[in-house]
């Protein structure tokens, strides 16, 4: 439980860092926004990936102060950009299950002055497996500010279609496992095609995650996918490198 104790201290000790990964339009290559990805630089254990510490933070409750810090930092950073690019922040199920999260989002928007339309919250299907009514109510409140909601890792959980029907999503993020198989598996390609058709029927853009090659991006263009994210388009990078890249392109 050592690590849980350390997690409670991580914000105050300045051990957390945000990395940013670009999200682009498939057809024009235009930058649309950035997903914010958390990193923890532990003084003894070194850098710990979120897959290792987020579950622990969720279990012990430290995800609440950590998630608040992530949201505030990300919004502050986005305000400093002289552009309409969006900022996409992952929201944990534990945060969504917390009654105050809509108030928190409202407060951070007020404090930072970020245009709410530039904030997107990414939630996974597992996020809403708990108390659906309450999650739905919270999402409605958040959406009323003008903030958009993306469903993350789509296609991996169960009851995907039911989730899509019941929840007010603004974007579908196709899980990266489909990209890794798109060139070798006709089934993966067929599923991508079906999800694109579904998204477009619901008038919701689809973003493909985990795009690592030119060829994968070409397939997405052929299939009419709206947006993409992945190492081929840009790795998650610390803010200094994002700022430098943004300046060079302006
Ligand atoms: O950054 P990858 O680098 O390893 O991220 C792994 C997982 O951790 C992803 O599923 C991502 O959604 C999640 N994650 C990254 N940053 C955050 C965060 O700030 N909050 C939450 N809740 N999850 C995050
Ligand atoms: O929110 P989520 O589960 O989708 O987090 C994105 C995760 O995927 C992060 O761990 C990020 O570092 C990772 N990632 C981003 N782009 C790529 C990619 O092109 N390939 C692979 N394998 N992982 C990626
Ligand atoms: Mn995500
Ligand atoms: Na994802």
pLDDT digits (tens, 9 = 90+) for 22-31: 999 999 999 9
State the average pLDDT over residues 185-214. 95
Length of the chain, in residues: 250
The pLDDT value given to residue 131: 79
Residues near ion ligand 3 (CB < 5 Å) are: 90, 122, 152
Q: Which residue has the higher pLDDT, 40 or 164?
A: 40
Instruction: Name the residue of 217, 231, 238 to mutate for ligand 2: max ligand atoms within 8 A of Cβ.
Output: 231
First vs last C-alpha separation in the chain:
47
C-alpha 152 – ligand 3 centre gap (Å): 5
CA 204 to chain centre: 16
Its ipTM equals: 0.96
Sign of torsion over alpha carbons 50, 56, 59, 60 = negative
Label residue 200 by pLDDT band (50, 70, 90): very high
State the average pLDDT over residues 183-207. 94
250 vs 82: CA distance, rounded Å:
10
Pocket of ligand 1 from Cβ distances under 6 Å: 37-38, 49-51, 54, 67, 70, 90, 92, 236
Tokens representing residue 192 in the block: 């991508």
Q: With both helix axes pointing from N to C terminus, report the angle between 50-60 and 63-79 in degrees, rounded to the nearest 10.
A: 120
Q: Which domains does the chain have, with CATH numbers?
A: 2-245 (3.20.20.450)
Residue 186: pLDDT over 90? yes
């Amino acid at each position: 439980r050592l690590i849980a104790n350390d997690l409670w201290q991580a914000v105050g000790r300045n051990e957390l860092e945000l990395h940013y990964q670009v999200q682009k339009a498939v057809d024009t290559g235009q930058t649309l926004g950035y997903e914010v990805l958390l990193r923890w630089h532990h003084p003894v254990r070194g850098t710990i990936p979120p897959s290792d510490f987020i579950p622990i933070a969720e279990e012990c409750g430290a995800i609440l102060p950590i998630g608040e810090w992530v949201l505030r930092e990300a919004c502050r950073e986005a305000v400093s950009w002289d552009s309409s690019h969006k900022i996409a922040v992952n929201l944990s199920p534990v945060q969504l299950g917390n009654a105050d999260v809509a108030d928190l989002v409202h407060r951070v928007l007020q404090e930072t002055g970020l245009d709410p339309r530039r904030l997107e919250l990414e939630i996974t299907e597992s996020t809403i497996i708990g108390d659906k009514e309450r999650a739905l109510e919270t999402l409605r409140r958040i959406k009323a500010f003008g903030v958009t909601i993306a469903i993350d890792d789509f296609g991996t959980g169960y009851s995907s279609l039911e989730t899509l029907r019941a929840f007010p999503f603004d974007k579908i993020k196709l899980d990266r496992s489909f990209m890794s198989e798109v060139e070798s598996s006709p089934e993966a390609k067929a599923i991508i095609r079906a999800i694109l058709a579904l998204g477009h029927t619901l008038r919701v853009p689809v973003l493909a995650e985990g795009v690592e090659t030119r060829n994968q991006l070409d397939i997405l263009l052929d299939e009419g996918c709206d947006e993409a994210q992945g190492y081929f388009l840009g790795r998650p990078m610390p803010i200094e490198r994002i700022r430098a890249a943004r300046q060079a392109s302006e």
